[in-house]
Structure 1
Amino acid sequence: MEKWMLIDGNSIAYRAFFAMPPLTNSAGQHTNAIFGFTTMLLKLLEQEKPTHVLVAFDAGKITFRHEGYTEYKGGRQKTPPELSEQFPVLKELLNAFGISQYELSGYEADDIIGTLTKAADEKGVPAFVVTGDKDMLQLASDKVTIAVTRKGVSEVDLYTPEAIQEKYGLVPMQIIDLKGLMGDTSDNIPGVPGVGEKTALKLLHEHGSVESVLDNLDTLKGKLKENIENHKDDATMSKRLATIFREVPMEKGVEEIRYEGYDGKKLAEAFRKLEFKSLIDRLELGDDAGDMEEQAQAAAADLNIHVIESDKDAAVLDKLIELLGHSDKNGLYVEAIGENPHQAKLIGLAIATEHEVFALPYSVVKEPFAAKLRDWLEQADKPKYGFDQHKVELALRWSGINFEGAAFDVQLAAYLLDPTEASQTLSGINDKQGLAALPSDESVYGKGARFKVPEAETLYRHLALKAEAVRQLVPLLTEELSKTGMSKLYFDMEHPLSRILAGMEFLGIKVKTEELEALGRNLESQLTTIISSVYKLAGTEFNIGSPKQLGEILFEKLGLPAKKKTKTGYSTDAEVLEELAPYHEIIPLILHFRQLSKLQSTYVEGLLKEVRKETGKVHTYYRQTIAATGRLSSQFPNLQNIPIRLEEGRQIRKAFVPSEPGWSILAADYSQIELRVLAHIADDENMKEAFINDMDIHTKTAMDVFGVSAEEVDSNMRRSAKAVNFGIVYGISDFGLSQNLGITRKEAGKFIDDYKEVFKGVRQYMSDIVKQARQDGYVATLLERRRYLNDINASNFNLRSFAERTAMNTPIQGTAADIIKLAMVHMDAALRERKLKSRMLLQVHDELVFEVPADELELMKTLVPEVMAGALKLDVPLKADMSFGDNWYEAK
């Protein structure tokens, strides 16, 4: 049996954008509206099981309604660019779903859906309309159900004619009369002044329609009669504007919106690009494993594979060692299962030489007869060409093998060549370089609960294929790095940094567990006090962690104004509570309770679980191939996101101490590095002047933008200046700045315009870099790190706008990331040259953390800021603020 599902694309995307927290992928693309839309879509597809699906979009701002009323929708603010840039990507995703979409110039999505629901009524086919706009209720019928989203897009209210009668006492078509009388501010439909929903419903219950109300004005009295009499034309026009047009000349027939389900591979590819890993896992979208054996056998047919499984194969191992002694052209692949290299399970390795490939289980590497292979792995003068050598080095070190001689990493090189690729897999790199197809890991091992190491023959063949792929990729990627001018970036910075990071991670940082435990007890005490105060103010005990119970206390018992309601009760999310803070003293206590609870569970208890028993340290892992800007990303645990805005959060740093008695923790933090880079790249005289004269850049900005002296700059001026200074670096919009500062978009837009008028060099840079990007197709950092912008010349405005903002901020963010990486490479060299015992432990955004013996402290206090300041020569000085103490807290 047929069932149509018709979705109001603009309405749902808009609601999803404002309901979801900010979300971006590693390429910097905003994705929150797409993610919210997609989760709702998946839920509805599963629940409703439609045979036909269409997503309707508005084709533009001007429709036939503007012909009679030019102010139609005139009160709406411009769509935030953070949302508008998501529409073209959303439409691409719908294509991957196999879902039809339609828009037509001069008409709105409502009209398209209205036309199709009329066809559904005529054919007697059930239709399910999904929207965020109650105007659509006029379309409800015996066959058409209207689902109106609430609580963002996660839940819907269903409206049938019966439900509309029960809620409003109206039939569906009277919804247009309701809008005619009360108007609709969201669409700038005027209605009648002074007539709200309650009055409009009363009039319609008595008279039935706008026309009947106007025909019976003599039954009305007072101000209401006067208002309606004076606004007759507005009422009839408003009704006309609210009426959905149901005769759109559709070019898409019913058969064209038939939904046959999605293609798993296409959808997985789209989700991977957006980095919706949770949705890939939820739908179990992996590579098709059905033809895995056939693919692998075909790919391995031309390889001469030798397997070494025991000491009976010692002669084969000797042959491998002999071949490695005569040629440096090898491909090494070590299989370490698990994302965390500190806990990864080594299951096997393979080495490809020019003519033969050797594969073996990892257990063999530790056997006495394999001593020569272990020696080769540990020899610095024996080059190894591999994949993800950073992870490999750590996994081997924890296994007792001091891996040395990493010469080239195809994953790291591929990342430099295309940093916007979300996941640099060996099979993906292989495909991109046009080599023979390589079965993916998921097709061999399965994934999630279905993960399983395959039988020996399949495993060895897979490892051999990957080692051979590495061997073939090395010259190809080396040549590409040379062609793109990134050889120096790779060989002088990224590759040596990979080795430095592995050393830092293996070393780890000492954690004083008793300090964390004491902090945990202190937090527990504070939480107990807060709970007691909350109970006292509430007049009863309840579960503060229960949104349902909290909602009942706040909105029913204490009578606070309810902002949002959900299916299970009142919304008590952070946004709601922050709006309620002025109304009652209980609200700040609840917000503080939530902050401390997160500190306790995520950071105190979470960090305690990450302390490695045998070392007493935490060993983070820096992902070098994730962020498109070149930034490092810390995991297992993430030491870059320890909250330091709250004093209780800063206290966590007290637990990080030197690993040797009498040593100190020394921290050095770049001061406003991105703004200094901007001053240099933009060659902005005002900005350069501030840094050259060591002025506070935010005060200087406030002085110039507001036209006041330094003494007249107050805290609000400086805060606004700071927001726009850092916002400019990230391509902030008027919407983004208005959210940050709590001001209107108009005020934010004026502030940005005034800023650009003062900092003319910055304005010129923004214009020039976009022109350059259009010409080259990419932008680059000062160290030639590239980021390609495929949409910089796109005809679609939203895609092009996102690419333009990316062009503006990538050279700044990327150069800042390059500078601290350079500083790490130079710092490592300085420590080695001077044979110092001091050790580099952490990189946290723009900060480097060291542990330093007492007899080297004075030297390091000078050396570290000096090396950091000299990492790269700019037109303005680089500056690193240095501090030290007995722990990380004291060093800040």
Structure 2
Amino acid sequence: MIIDGNSLLHRAFHALPLLMNKDGVYTNGVYGFLTMFYKVTEEYKPDYISVVFDKKSPTFRHIEFEEYKAGRAKTPSELGMQFPILKEIIDYLNVHRIEVDGYEADDLAGTLSRIGEENGLQVIIVTGDKDYLQLASENTKVLLTRKGISNIEVFDKQAVIERYELTPQQFIDLKGLMGDKSDNIPGVPGVGEKTGIKLLKEYESIEGIYNNIEKIDGKKLKEKLVEHRNQAIMSRRLAEIIRTVPINVNLDELILEEPNRDELIEIYKKLEFKSLLGKISLNKETNEDVVNEIKLIPEAIIVKNKDMLNNIINEIKNSKSMIFKFVVDGDNPLINNILGVGIRVLEKSSYYVDFTEGGINSEDFFNVFKDILEDDKIKKIGHNIKEEIIVSLRHKVDIQGIKFDSMIGQYLLNPSQSDYSLKKLANDYLDIYIESKENLLGTGKNRKTFGQISLIDRVSYISNELEIILRLKDIIESSIVSQNMDKLFYEVEVPLISVLASMEYIGFTVDLDKLKELGKEFDEKIQVLTQSIYDFAGEEFNINSPKQLGEILFEKLKLPALKKTKTGYSTNAEVLEGLTEVHPIAEKILEYRQLVKLKSTYVDGLISAIDKNTGKVHSSFNQTITTTGRISSTEPNLQNIPIRTDEGRRIRKVFVPSSSDYVLVDADYSQIELRVLASIANDPKLKEAFLTGEDIHRKTAAEVFDVKLEEVTPLMRSRAKAVNFGIVYGISDYGLARDLKITRKEAKQYIDNYLKNYVKVKEYMKNIVEDGKSKGYVETILHRRRYLPELSSRNFNIRSFGERMAMNTPIQGSAADIIKLAMVNVYNELKKRKLKSRLILQVHDELIIEAYKDEVEEVKVLLKDLMENAITINVPLIVDMKTGDSWYDTK
């Protein structure tokens, strides 16, 4: 087995969030490498093993081509410091490692693989570099890491041919033709992978292509091949892995031996790799200590009486900390029965307080534990602790002192992750497998609830969860601190958990009679539109069937078919909008679709979502869904209530205060993202508009269209507004042209004029993309990170997407940081003043307060003050406010 040390360490570093031990040493690359090392050595059990590394000195490739690997981003210091640590560990593992001046790691791997094959050995090469596929053969397999380092694809010679239609040797020729941006190998300009493969399938090699150059189809392709012949041949030489490096290696040196246990244990402890200690084959002297560190604790003690409960309270008071998790008989903490609670007193015991067998019920528990839960001086620790807050609010207990949530912490470290379950985090950080909720309860028709499984299974499940939370806490917290996100975590995201829990618990009242009335009205309009469409069509048909609709529009009515799909005619909104000038049926279909969606999604959907006991909808507010830091709303999504059409806006009329003693106060940040852009870019013209209170869209229109302010027409202002907000989202000339229904040439002119006038904005857009490429991530003003591997993609579309995200994330993410901070401050101030008014909804840039009528003026003053001063940027934050007896009335 030959392991490409440089490749695997780089991949691990970029795949895992930055980890740091208590001494400030970065460890994520080393940890990821070792995880992969143990995985492949345990699976393949090699007899001989070597880890190959690059040396910093120039290679023969640099001598032949001075620009080889030029322009590569400098290795981040956080990664650079991990190379010597990894090499030290490899030595303690008693694993052979090699690096040679003048050659790269892949040349050493190529040479070692040749030696292995010549000695009749099966060879396994482990790497993240696709270039190694040229070494695949009947006796050599290439294990290619994918998706960070977690997945592996195995290639022998046949697998390469099946996947790429080329032999491993032809891979060298392919790279000679298409070049390699990451290595700065030029290749032949204009020849990509598809063209290269096509040529090689026909002519076998670069030599074969040039021997048959007159037969090449395509004048331009032939010209490029002829012009860059020497470059193609040189590029092939640069791409070829050398298999004859003069190294004096005896196979016996590569025999896999027992590691130096004591040194490994010491360094793993120092680096805080507790989960890797179990990988060491232990002797009697070290076995007991290490195993105790890595095994899960015994199952929790089951608590069945109040005396035991009081003993736990005394332990918690002494410890000043508790980890806890309620077991709910279902997925909804607002309504489902509570079966028990798991409690961990940090390094001491775990307990499970059972509510099902008569000794203690949930009321007993909350009566006894109320003071502990509401004591701010006792630290509360959990995972998705919002559920614990909601359960407690049901029992009139308001938890204080929440200090850590492993789910929220991991979200900050990797906002692109889709799974934040404890099972996933235990696997990723601790290399420990715990049973998932899905495994325990089952899925589909056979799915059980916690109430249907045994008490023993519940106790086992919760014991492991508490232990994993404990082990994750220090790891996640140290990473958050090392990435300068401690203020964001402790002052914004953790306090926000209580805010969102409160909003979910309180809910938003819906006037059911008004909603049903609106549904009836929509039904009547849908019937009228349906008949009108039938009249235009000359027959009845299923309007909701794209196939039948396509036949009516394009075969019967002979309308121009603007777009076709694999299954027939396209009848999407863009096509129908293009037909509105051609035939009136198109506009009727668009109206029909809009009303049908409003009726099904927002009338029928809301009716089914209303809680019959409270008369409210209790949306779930999610902290870990978006990559930019925005809060999302689901079941139902209250952030997506339509506002662009009159009918859509009327949905908001059904959202009302809970009684006649209250009104709604809606506070909305004015153009917050443009203000953040002005501040981040530090653009003098953009800042001036906000500092002087000018209409930013009129000001932009005057700049873009080169007219005086008084000459700006409504159309100019409207188009400038689209440019302003388009710039925030990294819009292209194509996107702007489509939005404004103008030519791409006009759209490009608008964008060019904008960037010509707002010079610092242009500079920001260029710098933030370069910064994102260099670091691998971009940041908000509170240092929220978003990792952007897309910026390094060879695919133009993916890379362009990454560039748009690099421009947009610091702006949208900073706006999200600001409103989250405002939410926390507003929520805390309402509680501090003991007001009856309460925060019930956030929709991106706006907050809605259900305000007690006697408190309205006080609420408006505190809202304006706390929102406008949530954070200091170098332009003012402005809040617009309205009150009303429905959400509709506040707009």
Common topology (TM > 0.5): yes
SS in 2 for 1:842: strand
Aligned with residue 325 of structure 2, among 333, 347, 350: 333
- CA change 1:302–1:712 in 2 (3 A) is closer
- CA change 1:723–1:341 in 2 (3 A) is farther
Aligned match of 1:146: none
**Residues in 2 aligned to 1:871 and 1:498: alpha-carbon distance in whole angstroms:** 18
Conserved? CA contact 1:393–1:502, under 8 Å: yes
- CA change 1:361–1:569 in 2 (3 A) is farther
Q: Unmatched 5+ residue regions in structure 1?
A: 1-26, 28-86, 120-179, 181-186, 191-235, 238-248, 253-296
TM-aligned CA deviation for residue 348 of structure 1: 4.5
Conserved? CA contact 1:305–1:359, under 8 Å: no
TM-aligned CA deviation for residue 717 of structure 1: 2.7
For 2:618, the aligned partner's letter is H
Conserved? CA contact 2:882–2:890, under 8 Å: yes
**Residues in 2 aligned to 1:425 and 1:715: alpha-carbon distance in whole angstroms:** 51
For 1:334, the aligned partner's letter is F
Conserved? CA contact 2:145–2:152, under 8 Å: no
- CA change 1:761–1:344 in 2 (3 A) is farther
**Deviating more after overlay: 836-845 vs 335-344:** 335-344
TM-aligned CA deviation for residue 781 of structure 1: 1.9
Conserved? CA contact 1:338–1:345, under 8 Å: yes
Aligned match of 2:350: 357
1:391 lines up with 2:384 in the alignment: no
Residues 745-801 of structure 1, C-alpha deviation per residue, up to 9 Å, x if partnerless? 444334322221110111122233345445554432222323344565678877665
Q: TM-score under structure 2 normalisation?
A: 0.65
TM-aligned CA deviation for residue 595 of structure 1: 0.1
For 1:479, the aligned partner's letter is S
For 1:422, the aligned partner's letter is S
Conserved? CA contact 1:756–1:763, under 8 Å: yes
1:406 lines up with 2:402 in the alignment: yes
Conserved? CA contact 2:697–2:721, under 8 Å: yes
Residues 456-513 of structure 1, C-alpha deviation per residue, up to 9 Å, x if partnerless? 4333222101101112222333333333322222222222121122112211111111
For 1:358, the aligned partner's letter is Y
Aligned match of 1:130: none
**Residues in 1 aligned to 2:875 and 2:532: alpha-carbon distance in whole angstroms:** 52
**Residues in 1 aligned to 2:808 and 2:718: alpha-carbon distance in whole angstroms:** 21
Aligned match of 1:869: 868
Aligned match of 2:662: 663
- CA change 1:581–1:345 in 2 (3 A) is farther
**Residues in 2 aligned to 1:538 and 1:796: alpha-carbon distance in whole angstroms:** 45
SS in 2 for 1:596: helix
1:712 lines up with 2:797 in the alignment: no
For 1:331, the aligned partner's letter is I
TM-aligned CA deviation for residue 683 of structure 1: 1.0
Aligned with residue 366 of structure 1, among 352, 361, 383: 361
Spell out the pairing of 1:626-641 with structure 2 (5 A cutoff): 626-641=625-640
TM-aligned CA deviation for residue 363 of structure 1: 3.1
SS in 2 for 1:542: coil
1:308 lines up with 2:302 in the alignment: yes
Spell out the pairing of 1:451-470 with structure 2 (5 A cutoff): 451-452=447-448, 455-470=454-469
Aligned match of 2:315: 323
SS in 2 for 1:349: strand
1:729 lines up with 2:720 in the alignment: no
Aligned match of 2:764: 765
Residues 527-570 of structure 1, C-alpha deviation per residue, up to 9 Å, x if partnerless? 12222322332333333223333333322332222334567654
SS in 2 for 1:543: coil
Conserved? CA contact 1:308–1:316, under 8 Å: no
TM-aligned CA deviation for residue 580 of structure 1: 1.4
Conserved? CA contact 1:513–1:608, under 8 Å: yes
- CA change 1:730–1:337 in 2 (3 A) is farther
- CA change 1:716–1:389 in 2 (3 A) is same
**Residues in 2 aligned to 1:874 and 1:715: alpha-carbon distance in whole angstroms:** 30
Q: Identity of paired residues, percent? A: 42
1:884 lines up with 2:877 in the alignment: no
Spell out the pairing of 1:601-620 with structure 2 (5 A cutoff): 601-620=600-619
Conserved? CA contact 2:402–2:495, under 8 Å: no
For 1:818, the aligned partner's letter is D
Q: Unmatched 5+ residue regions in structure 2?
A: 1-16, 18-129, 132-143, 178-190, 205-216, 224-235, 241-290
Conserved? CA contact 1:304–1:356, under 8 Å: no
Spell out the pairing of 1:383-782 with structure 2 (5 A cutoff): 383-398=379-394, 403-434=399-430, 436-452=432-448, 455-565=454-564, 570-773=569-772, 776-782=775-781
SS in 1 for 2:889: coil
Spell out the pairing of 1:212-227 with structure 2 (5 A cutoff): none
**Residues in 2 aligned to 1:657 and 1:392: alpha-carbon distance in whole angstroms:** 28
TM-aligned CA deviation for residue 721 of structure 1: 1.9
For 2:316, the aligned partner's letter is L
TM-aligned CA deviation for residue 701 of structure 1: 1.1
Residues 415-441 of structure 1, C-alpha deviation per residue, up to 9 Å, x if partnerless? 222222222222333344346443443
Aligned match of 1:839: 838
TM-aligned CA deviation for residue 709 of structure 1: 1.8
SS in 2 for 1:332: strand
**Residues in 1 aligned to 2:372 and 2:589: alpha-carbon distance in whole angstroms:** 56
Conserved? CA contact 1:377–1:405, under 8 Å: no
SS in 1 for 2:877: coil
TM-aligned CA deviation for residue 631 of structure 1: 0.6
Aligned match of 2:54: none
Conserved? CA contact 2:664–2:885, under 8 Å: yes
For 1:355, the aligned partner's letter is K
**Residues in 2 aligned to 1:687 and 1:559: alpha-carbon distance in whole angstroms:** 51
**Residues in 2 aligned to 1:370 and 1:836: alpha-carbon distance in whole angstroms:** 28
- CA change 1:768–1:518 in 2 (3 A) is same
Aligned match of 2:813: 814
Aligned match of 2:72: none
Conserved? CA contact 2:509–2:617, under 8 Å: yes
**Residues in 1 aligned to 2:366 and 2:498: alpha-carbon distance in whole angstroms:** 24
Conserved? CA contact 1:510–1:658, under 8 Å: yes
Aligned match of 1:379: 374
- CA change 1:856–1:188 in 2 (3 A) is farther
SS in 2 for 1:644: coil
TM-aligned CA deviation for residue 690 of structure 1: 1.1
Q: TM-score under structure 1 normalisation?
A: 0.65
Aligned match of 2:194: 109
**Residues in 2 aligned to 1:298 and 1:490: alpha-carbon distance in whole angstroms:** 31
TM-aligned CA deviation for residue 689 of structure 1: 1.3
- CA change 1:511–1:811 in 2 (3 A) is same
SS in 1 for 2:778: strand
Aligned match of 1:38: none
For 2:868, the aligned partner's letter is A
TM-aligned CA deviation for residue 876 of structure 1: 1.4
**Residues in 2 aligned to 1:469 and 1:435: alpha-carbon distance in whole angstroms:** 11
Conserved? CA contact 1:692–1:877, under 8 Å: yes
Conserved? CA contact 1:300–1:461, under 8 Å: no
SS in 2 for 1:628: coil
SS in 1 for 2:598: helix
Aligned match of 1:256: none
Conserved? CA contact 2:672–2:815, under 8 Å: yes
For 2:410, the aligned partner's letter is A
Residues 251-298 of structure 1, C-alpha deviation per residue, up to 9 Å, x if partnerless? 99xxxxxxxxxxxxxxxxxxxxxxxxxxxxxxxxxxxxxxxxxxxx99
Conserved? CA contact 2:340–2:362, under 8 Å: no
RMSD, aligned CA: 3.8
**Residues in 2 aligned to 1:534 and 1:800: alpha-carbon distance in whole angstroms:** 44
Aligned match of 1:52: none
**Residues in 2 aligned to 1:641 and 1:369: alpha-carbon distance in whole angstroms:** 41
Aligned match of 2:853: 854
SS in 2 for 1:559: coil
Conserved? CA contact 1:497–1:821, under 8 Å: yes
For 1:413, the aligned partner's letter is G
